Structure 1
Amino acid sequence: MTEEVEMQAAAAVTAPDLQDGEHVGAALRSLREARGLSVADISALTRIRPAHVEAIESLSLGDLPSRPFTIGYLRAYAQALGLPGDAAVARFKADDPDRNDALRPPVGVRRMADPRLRLMLLAGLLILSAIFAWNLIRRGSLNEASQGSATPVSDAPALQTPTGPMTLGAPLPAPVESNAPPAYLTPGLEAVLSAALPETLTAGEDPTLLDMGETFVPKGEIYGAPAGSGRIVVQARRPTTLIVWGPDGAAWFARKVAAGDAYRAPSGTNLVFETVEAGVMAVFVEGQARGVLPSGRTPTSALAIAPTVPGRPAPAPAPKP
């Protein structure tokens, strides 16, 4: 028993320590060799590359990453040997005091400038030089033009501004568009259509929108008076807006009507039809076509005239009930 204690005491005296060796790396190498471990074993235990393990043992700081990484490697190395990591870090800081050096780039990495940056700078300088030269040339051209076009000062007396009231003549008509061809009119068509319409409906409408020989056929809603109580009916040939004014000036009817919708005016009441488009509302009197409404307002008294279609006799008036 006494011999065993003596052997352990001798081993403790002869065992290496972190304070042995010329630096902490040498102490770690001695401790690794004393435990019978290889560099590969330490690399497997600490996940540190074998090259970095050898650099730590030789304390070759140029082959190691930045100082914070080196301190972490030393701590892991000491703990893999069963030693306190803080003691290994303290020995390292004593061997190599911190000089607040900047972080070194990773080993094997070389800084290279982007070659495209130089080309971009060169292109920008060329563009700026071209713009500057163009501005100089343009300014010189403008100066020469202004000097060449300068009018000499004339010795003629200046015109005197008339005093007193001035008389203006009548305004001139608007210029005629020279490139607009005149509208083509079929010979004889205007006379026939004008004769087929009453005088109150010949201005402003397009009589070609209505066949003067057609009769009224319901094609949609019929507003106003019921059937048999009115002689005058207006029918929309396409969607439009119709307003009907009563004899008292109040609006009896105002809405947007669809194609085929109609309005029947009650007999004995003088109404006024108002449309915003000419030639859209067809006029029927006693069921026979009488033309189309012009734009604006048209009283029913101007529409209650017997039809005058050439070659067509006037229809007989409807019997009174």
Structure 2
Amino acid sequence: MAEEGSAEGEEGHSPPAPTLDLEVGEHVGAALRAIRQSRGLTVQDIADKTRIRPAYLEAVESLRLKDLPSRPFTIGYIRSYAQALGFPGDAAVARFKADDPDRNDALRAPVGVRRMADPRLRVMMLAGMLLLSAILAWNLIRRGTLEEESRGPTRLITADPPRAAPIGPISLGSPLPAPVESNAPPPYLTPGLESQLSAALPEGLSSGEDPTLLDLGDTFTPQGQVSGAPAGGGRLVLQARRPTALIVWGPDGAAWFARSLAAGEAYRAPEGARITFETVEAGVLAIFVDNRALGVLPAGRTSASSIALSPPS
């Protein structure tokens, strides 16, 4: 009887669950998904921890690279995902590079960023074509007029009567000066053309303004979601003047924040954090320190410490 009970106990005892790590699955995304599911976490739970959109996390789990931004963004997402699960971010990135070693294409524009054409360019091209057409038409009309004047009225040509032979010496006067060069006509401006070209430009638009950028003023005013540190938790704020992408790198090289910002949305840097900002567009992210405008963020990477030490503009 004891042997039968012992046998039943051995049959009812389930074997320990296998330990999951970043090497399971067909790729790193599958490994991250398996670890998340084993811990009973949802995609939204990971999105709340990493501040990454759930759609991007699902694309990482399936390794659908066509649905993700450029390669640096994808690496940052994988690093943050692994760290949210308690795994080293560098190990997850190494697995990703082993799964996809042959990507060497140029950086794509971040997902959600739209390139907008300058409306002034079309107006300037149209104005130039009108001006060129007017000058060409005037030259053709002017040349035809000059040719008609040079020919003079049509007359019947008859034989000249015989001339009498000159008698005595003939005196010649002093030579006349060379004729004035008249091949180049004086400049001509079509009447009313200048006023029409001025009216075609948008009212109040100067050469240094971009009509696609949002005017944020000299004082920081929230016009959408403010990510990063809570209100009062940092002096430095970046605010988007139109839709753009922002990556915030921590001192250890991990991506603290990586997402697309809509016009008016902002990111507040934690006070004293040694972080670096990265963007692909210059002049789109406005800088505010102590709620005062300090300028705009250039393209590439900029450390937060260099901005905080800059004097207010």
Q: State which structure, 1 or 2, has the greater radius of gyration over its C-alpha atoms.
A: 1
**TM score, norm. by length of structure 2:** 0.42
